[in-house]
Chains A and B, each alone.
Chain A
Amino acid sequence: MTPPDGEPAIDLSPRVADEVKTTTCYMCACRCGIKVHLRDGRIRYIEGNKRHPVNRGVLCAKGSAGIMQHNSPARLTAPLLRVGERGAGEFKEISWDEALALATTWLGDIRASDPRKLAFFTGRDQSQSFTGWWAAQFGTPNFAAHGGFCSVNMAAAGLYSIGGSFWEFGEPDWEHARYLLMFGVAEDHDSNPIKIGLSKLKARGAKFVSVNPVRTGYSAVADEWIGIRPGTDGLLVMALIHEILKADRIDLDFLARYTNATWLVVQEPGSANDGLFARDPAGRPLAWDAVRGEAVSALETGINPRIAGEVDLPDWGRCVPVFHLLANRYLDAAYAPDAVAERCGVSATTIRRIAAELVEAAFEQKVEIDQPWTDWAGRRHEKMVGRPVSFHAMRGVSAHSNGFQTCRALHVLQMLLGAVDRPGSWRYKAPYPKPMPGGPKPAGKTVAPNTPLGGMPLGFPLSPEDLLVDQAGKATRIDKAYSWEAPLSAHGMMHLVIANAHAGDPYPIDTLFMFMANMSWNSAMNSAGTMRMLTDKTEDGGYRIPRIIYSDAYYSEMVAYADLILPDTTYLERWDCISLLDRPIGSAEGPGDAIRQPVVKPDRDVRPFQDVLLDLGARLGLPGFVDGEGRPKFPGGYSDYIANHERRPGIGPLAGWRGADGASPGKGAANPDQLKHYVENGCFWRHHLPEEALYFKYANRAYLEEAVKLGLIDKPDPIILQLYVEPLQRFRLAAQGHGLIQPPENLRERVATYFDPLPTWYMPFEEAAVDREHYPMHAVTQRPMAMYHAWHSQNAWLRQIHGENRLFVNRATGQSLDISDDDWVWIVSHHGRVKAQVRLMEGCNPDTVWTWNAIGKRSGAWNLDADARETTHGFLLNHAISEFLPGPARAPNADPITGQAAWYDLRIRLEKCAPEEVGETSPRPSTVLRPPGMDRAPRILRYDASKPR
């Protein structure tokens, strides 16, 4: 078409790409589907895949900056061997043959003598079912990924309460919810699904309330922002429970049918059965049938169980139903809104109103789906009746030492409202729900040379017998997971590995092997101390942690501390699987999983970490990694493993297109064409559950039977929601002196106190331990939506959005402290101090300061200039956070039940800087050198994939 006069001719249909390949994003943990447009071998454009169930075509800032991540000048280029002192960044390049031979020697020696001396921790790994299996075959119990310092409180509380959890294992019913109450959500997690959902919710006129000390992102668009004081969410939730109990606006029918509300709990203080369920000889929990006037199995259908009232059972003594205990506890005046308001920083009027709104939404705003369904007992229900109140929570609840119980309280509130997996409520993402109690136990009770573990290193303990402790009650894992310090540490405790290895407590190790975990910097509590521990030497001149192997794609702060570097590829150069065996992409509509395929070839001497692990496994002769002749079992690398490995007969890393003909979803023989099917389908697989199976999954026959068929659960039994978590009581009974396995004396009281089978609230540990007048404020971090942890400061585009971080202070609080915008302050904790520049704001709890997470960078790391603003105007709060509580006891700064790192328990005071101190953040460790093979980053960037290079 000829343009009108005066207008230049422009090309409206330029060639975009030669080829478009699908894969899965890895710019954060959301696992969105992407389409990568390639032109002349370069990446022209990355966009969201419209057919993908996670992001449905949208893509966030991080995902959209994938080109810059892939082309980052901080990419490692070849295997490196340390030649200078640890921490300096002095390396020489070596060949892969040399690197792998060296690693094989180190690891082989450990395996032949004491496999525990290998600590293998894999950070933000999305292949944990594989890396964990490698650790198991190696024979070390010392394996975990980053969950212990991320959100294990949330995951464990959910899995032990409702057989699912927020984010990974569940989602709000965005299509039907009338009310959403969201607590402390990291805005870089699950970010596209939440943004898509919030938009739908708001368009429908549903109410969205955000509980968060800080008003950023989601809170900014909420109908109501509740700027709660950190660590008091549990109190708020219990006050809501108090209100709805007092008004008797609860879903009793739901409680009787789907939860353990009616199960009888023994009330015989001092007895070994106290607080456990009364059971029949077959081990089934008992309820009191009000019509029959006798104790009956609580699992029977058609019974008329009492929900309150004491009974005396001949074999057990005094018993009351769970609900009786629950009502008693939360109706106490201590949980009344007036009693908690001041501590929460939320008015009692607001708490009462929120309770009333929840009730109104749950019971009066009818949401019914005209879809008959049949329950586990064969009873047909003509409709799916909703309870359109959804909840969502994440880090703000999780990263406190009272986070497990707080998250439990949220689940109890959901259950009381009958708002679990019903239209409009929070819903399970397949493969959840999982039965409770259930799941494998952590392996590692016995460890022997050249011997695999008896199972996978991570699991779900149900009683003291499942702990990994020695006769004296001492931890046997290097991170002390599954010890009395953190019995339910289902994700391990990566945040304590370096401190424990340095102290030789519970024993010294030989090699620390890590993947994708910036443990000398933003992933560490006490970053400066961690750097010292990594470089600390013994009297004979050797390092206290003798060997460190590290794999990363980029020159992160951790690289300088390793002895041997195994450079990984970028996410666009590799195979991966997002597996049902660890963190899949299922939704409420059905299970799903996904792959990454290489869309471009590496132009450096790097290898995908999973390929390297397979290679090492074969070199070490690990069972499962070699065939009968000792040859590599997966010579084709990770893609070979993904398609052909079977964890159990018929169950492999991917659930789609199983069976020789690809016709068996879920369970079936390995299929040589499986990956081809994935690629043809946009690199994901999704199974749609039948309509009748979409809600009430814990009790829905169609769902339970389908889940068995797909291999998601073993039996189609109903999954009974646990208001009262009996396994916690078993640990408490041990702490009270019952049983053979006893906690050490120093932890006895702690276990007895915190292992309450009904949710309880206690002051976060650091807050309780410090002089609160001396450290009057809370300090927390928020995750910016456009950055994922430390990863994105190397990204030329994203660092222009968040290139420095301020300390945000409530304006009125700042004024009362004589602190103005742009002033410099010291953030002082019991552990250390950090210097930062202030920005005052309105939307912040007055007792709280905050900053963006992980913006501060070590000078020279990530191939940024030594004086980049991230180093002079960025800072980490981590320097003020200790991995231990104040005092000499080395008590972890963590949740006592799960070991979750209590990042947000931090208490501080602000001190204005002296005039000569202003201008740069502190601490500021020395500059690390650029490793060999890494060119100086470009001074100008003119990326244009439309023109030849």
Chain B
Amino acid sequence: MTSYTPPAEGTRKLGLVIDLDTCVGCHACAVNCKEWNTSGHSAPLTDLAPYSRDASGVWFNRVHAFEAGSGEDSRTVHFPRSCLHCEEPACVSVCPTGASYKRAEDGIVLVNADTCIGCKLCSWACPYGAREFDEEDGVMKKCTLCVDKIYNENLPEEDRVPACVSTCPANARHFGDLGDPDSSVSRMVAERGGVELMPELGYKPVNRYLPPRPKKTGCGSGKSAALEPAFDPAAMHPALRWLDRILTR
């Protein structure tokens, strides 16, 4: 086991805020992540049997679609899932070699491929299923929060955000410092009632999910149940209603 000290108050906690109100489950985040990262920090993101019967690969980000509830009350949920960069990450504390670590600088949880022995203890420990074992390399891989993109001085500043965030067509993914209460992501979480996943487990995930906005039942006022008829077409020839209307072209 690795000794691990949780970060002090005020340290940076980089993470994602995912908006379940607008996520349409398009998988753009998952694929763009794969595309960036297969040549990135943990390259490659191996695919096994890619053109065969049971293709499988390393993905740092997966989108699940499921239905909640039944009948009229049911809804379809698209739920993107990736590493939550926990403040008290079980994957780090269980790692026997110290390969899994949480960066002091920004809280990003990474795996050191040089010291990972592929024992998979971390994937057993992670309750969020956010670890991806690369069979070919024999090491564990995971979301790096695009650590090689967000600080990359070879990229224009505006592009220094995780791939999943910059590509998301529905603007459902946001990146920032959740340790700073004034950051745009923290404010968004406060305004929209963002939640952490399974807080009861105590791992203090950094990422937040914004719940769907309440469904609008009316149209602003809520008064529109039905239109008041202006006349009875059965009692009067419909066209007569408009016969004397003077219009101008």
Q: Are A352 and B226 in contact (CB under 8 A)?
A: yes
Q: Are A355 and B219 in contact (CB under 8 A)?
A: no
- Look across to chain A and name the residue whose beta carbon is closest to the beta carbon of B21: A202
A320 CA / B237 CA spacing, docked (Å): 13
Cβ of B49: which chain A residues have Cβ within 8 Å of it?
Answer: 939-940
- Look across to chain A and name the residue whose beta carbon is closest to the beta carbon of B104: A4
Beyond A16-B154, A58-B168, A365-B220, whether A796 also contacts B248 by CB under 8 A is: no
Cβ of B105: which chain A residues have Cβ within 8 Å of it?
Answer: 3-4
Chain A: interface size category: 35 or more
| B119 on interface, CB distance cutoff 8 Å | no
Partner of A842 from the list B38, B69, B159 (CB cut-off 8 Å) is B69
Cβ of A314: which chain B residues have Cβ within 8 Å of it?
Answer: none
Q: Are A249 and B227 in contact (CB under 8 A)?
A: yes
Q: Are A331 and B233 in contact (CB under 8 A)?
A: yes
Q: Are B53 and A869 in contact (CB under 8 A)?
A: yes
0 or 1 for each of B52-71: is its CB under 8 Å from A? (1 = yes): 11111101000001010111
Beyond A64-B32, A799-B55, A800-B47, whether A785 also contacts B25 by CB under 8 A is: yes
Which residues 206-236 of B sit at the A interface, judged by CB distance below 8 A? 212-213, 215-221, 223-231, 233-234
A68 CA / B243 CA spacing, docked (Å): 65
- Look across to chain B and name the residue whose beta carbon is closest to the beta carbon of A218: B24
Cβ of B30: which chain A residues have Cβ within 8 Å of it?
Answer: 61, 801
B188 to chain A, nearest CB (A): 11
B216 to chain A, nearest CB (A): 4
| B98 on interface, CB distance cutoff 8 Å | yes
Stretch from A295-303, A402-410, A496-504 forming part of the interface with B: A295-303
Q: Are A304 and B23 in contact (CB under 8 A)?
A: no
A200 CA / B248 CA spacing, docked (Å): 37
Q: Are B247 and A307 in contact (CB under 8 A)?
A: yes
Beyond A220-B76, A331-B233, A355-B227, whether A196 also contacts B169 by CB under 8 A is: yes
A263 CA / B70 CA spacing, docked (Å): 51
A245 CA / B232 CA spacing, docked (Å): 11
Cβ of B151: which chain A residues have Cβ within 8 Å of it?
Answer: 12-13
| A178 on interface, CB distance cutoff 8 Å | yes
Q: Are A785 and B27 in contact (CB under 8 A)?
A: yes
Q: Are B229 and A247 in contact (CB under 8 A)?
A: yes
Cβ of A290: which chain B residues have Cβ within 8 Å of it?
Answer: 244, 246
Q: Are A13 and B153 in contact (CB under 8 A)?
A: yes
In this complex, which of B36, B56, B227, B229 has the most chain A Cβ atoms within 10 angstroms of its Cβ?
B227
Which residues 33-66 of A sit at the B interface, judged by CB distance below 8 A? 39, 44-48, 50, 55, 57-66
Beyond A50-B158, A196-B170, A207-B216, whether A798 also contacts B31 by CB under 8 A is: yes
Q: Are B169 and A12 in contact (CB under 8 A)?
A: no
Q: Are B52 and A357 in contact (CB under 8 A)?
A: no
- Look across to chain A and name the residue whose beta carbon is closest to the beta carbon of B229: A246
Partner of A785 from the list B24, B114, B148, B171 (CB cut-off 8 Å) is B24
Beyond A199-B22, A309-B239, whether A192 also contacts B169 by CB under 8 A is: yes
| B34 on interface, CB distance cutoff 8 Å | yes
| A147 on interface, CB distance cutoff 8 Å | no
Partner of A179 from the list B47, B219, B249 (CB cut-off 8 Å) is B219
A723 to chain B, nearest CB (A): 14
Q: Are A944 and B43 in contact (CB under 8 A)?
A: yes
Partner of B24 from the list A16, A47, A63, A195 (CB cut-off 8 Å) is A195
Cβ of A940: which chain B residues have Cβ within 8 Å of it?
Answer: 46-50, 136
Q: Are A355 and B231 in contact (CB under 8 A)?
A: no
Stretch from A425-433, A860-868, A894-902 forming part of the interface with B: A860-868
- Determine chain B's interface SS by DSSP, over half rule: loop
Beyond A248-B241, A327-B238, A843-B74, whether A59 also contacts B28 by CB under 8 A is: yes
Beyond A45-B35, A248-B230, whether A221 also contacts B24 by CB under 8 A is: yes
Beyond A307-B242, A785-B24, A865-B51, whether A14 also contacts B152 by CB under 8 A is: yes
| B110 on interface, CB distance cutoff 8 Å | yes
A613 to chain B, nearest CB (A): 31
Q: Are B24 and A217 in contact (CB under 8 A)?
A: yes
Q: Are A304 and B220 in contact (CB under 8 A)?
A: no
| A257 on interface, CB distance cutoff 8 Å | yes
Give the tally of cross-chain contacts (CB within 8 A). Answer: 354
Q: Are B47 and A191 in contact (CB under 8 A)?
A: no
A803 CA / B56 CA spacing, docked (Å): 11
Partner of B39 from the list A57, A65, A353, A944 (CB cut-off 8 Å) is A944
| A827 on interface, CB distance cutoff 8 Å | no
Cβ of B229: which chain A residues have Cβ within 8 Å of it?
Answer: 246-247
0 or 1 for each of B84-114: is its CB under 8 Å from A? (1 = yes): 0000000000000010010111000010101
| B1 on interface, CB distance cutoff 8 Å | no
A865 CA / B53 CA spacing, docked (Å): 7
Which residues 894-949 of A sit at the B interface, judged by CB distance below 8 A? 937-947
0 or 1 for each of A169-208: is its CB under 8 Å from B? (1 = yes): 0000000001100000001000110011011101101010
Partner of A220 from the list B52, B78, B159 (CB cut-off 8 Å) is B78
Partner of B40 from the list A361, A800, A946 (CB cut-off 8 Å) is A946
Beyond A302-B249, A327-B241, whether A198 also contacts B28 by CB under 8 A is: no
Q: Are B243 and A221 in contact (CB under 8 A)?
A: no
Q: Are B219 and A842 in contact (CB under 8 A)?
A: no
| A243 on interface, CB distance cutoff 8 Å | yes
Which residues 9-46 of A sit at the B interface, judged by CB distance below 8 A? 10-17, 39, 44-46
- Look across to chain A and name the residue whose beta carbon is closest to the beta carbon of B223: A360
| B197 on interface, CB distance cutoff 8 Å | no
Beyond A199-B171, A867-B53, whether A8 also contacts B112 by CB under 8 A is: yes
Cβ of B12: which chain A residues have Cβ within 8 Å of it?
Answer: none
- Look across to chain B and name the residue whose beta carbon is closest to the beta carbon of A72: B51
- Look across to chain A and name the residue whose beta carbon is closest to the beta carbon of B220: A365
Q: Are B50 and A941 in contact (CB under 8 A)?
A: yes
- Look across to chain A and name the residue whose beta carbon is closest to the beta carbon of B149: A16
A768 to chain B, nearest CB (A): 28
| B179 on interface, CB distance cutoff 8 Å | no
A324 CA / B241 CA spacing, docked (Å): 10
B238 to chain A, nearest CB (A): 4
A703 CA / B192 CA spacing, docked (Å): 41
In this complex, which of A60, A200, A841 has the most chain B Cβ atoms within 10 angstroms of its Cβ?
A60
Cβ of B223: which chain A residues have Cβ within 8 Å of it?
Answer: 360
Q: Are B233 and A246 in contact (CB under 8 A)?
A: yes
- Look across to chain A and name the residue whose beta carbon is closest to the beta carbon of B148: A14
A11 CA / B78 CA spacing, docked (Å): 34
Cβ of B228: which chain A residues have Cβ within 8 Å of it?
Answer: 247
A688 CA / B5 CA spacing, docked (Å): 56
Beyond A192-B169, A252-B245, A797-B47, whether A198 also contacts B219 by CB under 8 A is: no
A302 CA / B233 CA spacing, docked (Å): 31
Q: Are B227 and A246 in contact (CB under 8 A)?
A: yes
- Look across to chain A and name the residue whose beta carbon is closest to the beta carbon of B155: A16
A59 CA / B238 CA spacing, docked (Å): 51
Q: Are B170 and A800 in contact (CB under 8 A)?
A: no
Cβ of B47: which chain A residues have Cβ within 8 Å of it?
Answer: 796-797, 800, 940-943
Which residues 302-348 of A sit at the B interface, judged by CB distance below 8 A? 302-309, 320, 323-324, 327-328, 331-333
| B130 on interface, CB distance cutoff 8 Å | no
| A256 on interface, CB distance cutoff 8 Å | yes
Partner of A8 from the list B114, B152, B158, B163 (CB cut-off 8 Å) is B114
| B198 on interface, CB distance cutoff 8 Å | no
| B172 on interface, CB distance cutoff 8 Å | yes
Q: Are A64 and B242 in contact (CB under 8 A)?
A: no
- Look across to chain B and name the residue whose beta carbon is closest to the beta carbon of A337: B226
Known interface pairs A200-B171, A785-B25; 13 further A-B residue pairs with C-beta atoms within 8 A, sorted by A's residue number: A199-B172, A247-B228, A253-B247, A256-B248, A257-B248, A304-B247, A306-B243, A359-B224, A365-B220, A799-B50, A865-B51, A940-B50, A944-B44
A-B residue pairs in contact (CB < 8 Å), sample of 5: A11-B148, A195-B169, A202-B213, A290-B244, A943-B44
B contact set with A: CB distance below 8 Å: 21-28, 30-32, 34-36, 38-41, 43-44, 46-57, 59, 65, 67, 69-71, 74-78, 98, 101, 103-105, 110, 112, 114-115, 136, 147-148, 151-155, 158-159, 163, 166-172, 212-213, 215-221, 223-231, 233-234, 237-249
The 5 closest A-B pairs by CB, nearest first: A937-B51, A356-B224, A247-B227, A195-B169, A256-B247
